[in-house]
């Protein structure tokens, strides 16, 4: 007898279709000052030649469901990277959703018990989940987890701020997101 999943199966194609385009998401954001910040960062975001070449060489679609709300500082920092990648490739398609109204989706992506955003869920051309990213690069997630574990959350957040200042072009985010694009577009193991 088959086991029932603990969480219901997600119809990723429907979730993706229910989301907003980047333009609509920016227009409907809670904080227009943050929308302006995101737009500015997007205009300044650069892709490496390697990333641009790989994005232009995608042979089939990669879909990304971005759980993002523009009031969040990490959203302001990381959405421009994802969106610049999407602008580079017609095959990389992004749909933006909020946590509210999508609780069945978001509950799968809490970070150390917290509702941290953004979360980017990478889907292949058949809308099969292939990986997720967020709310920040892996090394910084580890730093925050260690800060929580040691009771030094404030120190950890300070070190995250310092790491962000040391990577103004968000190259670590770009590298990690490109790894997920490669996985979601893979034609063989």
Among 94, 84, 74, 81, which residue's Cα sits nearest to residue 169?
A: 81
List residues bridging with 97 in a β-sheet. 67
CB 121 within 8 A of CB 129: yes
| CATH assignment at residue 44 | 3.40.30.10
Distance CA 74, CA 61 (A): 26
Examine residue 116 and state whether it is found in any structural domain, yes or no. yes
* pLDDT digits (tens), the chain, 189 positions: 566 667 778 999 999 999 999 999 999 988 888 899 999 999 999 999 999 999 999 999 999 999 999 999 999 999 999 999 999 999 999 999 999 999 999 999 988 778 899 999 999 999 999 999 999 999 999 999 999 999 999 999 999 999 999 999 999 999 999 999 999 999 999
Examine residue 58 and state whether it is found in any structural domain, yes or no. yes
Examine residue 18 and state whether it is found in any structural domain, yes or no. yes
The tally of domains found in the chain comes to: 1
Name the residue range of residue 118's domain. Answer: 12-135+171-184
pTM of the complete model: 0.94
Examine residue 160 and state whether it is found in any structural domain, yes or no. no
CB 62 within 8 A of CB 181: yes
Examine residue 82 and state whether it is found in any structural domain, yes or no. yes
């Amino acid at each position: 007898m088959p086991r029932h999943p603990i969480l219901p199966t997600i119809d990723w194609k429907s979730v993706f279709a229910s989301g907003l385009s980047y333009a609509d998401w920016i227009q409907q954001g809670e904080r227009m000052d943050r929308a302006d910040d995101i737009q500015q960062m997007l205009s300044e975001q650069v892709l490496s030649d390697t990333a641009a070449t790989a994005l232009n060489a995608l042979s089939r679609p990669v879909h990304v469901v971005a759980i993002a709300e523009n009031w969040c500082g990490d959203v302001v920092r990381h959405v421009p990277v994802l969106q610049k990648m999407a602008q580079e490739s017609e095959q990389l398609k992004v749909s933006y959703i909020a946590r509210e109204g999508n609780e069945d989706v978001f509950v799968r992506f809490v970070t150390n018990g917290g509702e941290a955003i953004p979360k980017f869920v990478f889907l292949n051309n058949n809308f099969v989940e292939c990986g997720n990213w967020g709310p920040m690069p892996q090394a910084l997630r580890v730093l925050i987890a260690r800060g929580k574990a040691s009771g030094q959350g404030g120190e950890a957040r300070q070190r995250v701020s310092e790491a962000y200042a040391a990577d103004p072009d968000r190259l670590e985010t770009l590298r990690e997101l490109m790894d997920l694009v490669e996985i979601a577009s893979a034609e063989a193991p």
